[in-house]
Amino acid sequence: MLAAKTALHGGRSPAGVLACAVCCALWMGFLAIAHRRIRVLAASGPEGPPALTPRHATAATLCTVALAVCAVALVF
């Protein structure tokens, strides 16, 4: 919501709408990864949950960094 408000403040522009769409897509990707990890943790038995795969850890990290970059771009 904050990304949309910031991006569209002062009128709609193609760059603002694109930035808002990218932020929303990145957030949805991060939520999908987090939801998958929560399901794995909930389903783990007494031996404990398996380690997060490097692919998923990298995806979560990239989503987080990209969201931070989008936030900085929206502020300036």
**10-residue averages of pLDDT along the chain (76 residues):** 66 76 86 90 85 89 87 74
Question: CA geometry: angle at 35 spanning 34 and 39, to 5°?
Answer: 115
In this prediction, residue 2 carries a pLDDT of 65
Beta strands per DSSP E along 1-76: none
Q: Name residue, tokens 């569209």.
A: 8
pTM above 0.75, yes or no: no
Q: Is 66 exposed, middle or buried (0-12, 13-18, 19+ CB in 10 A)?
A: middle
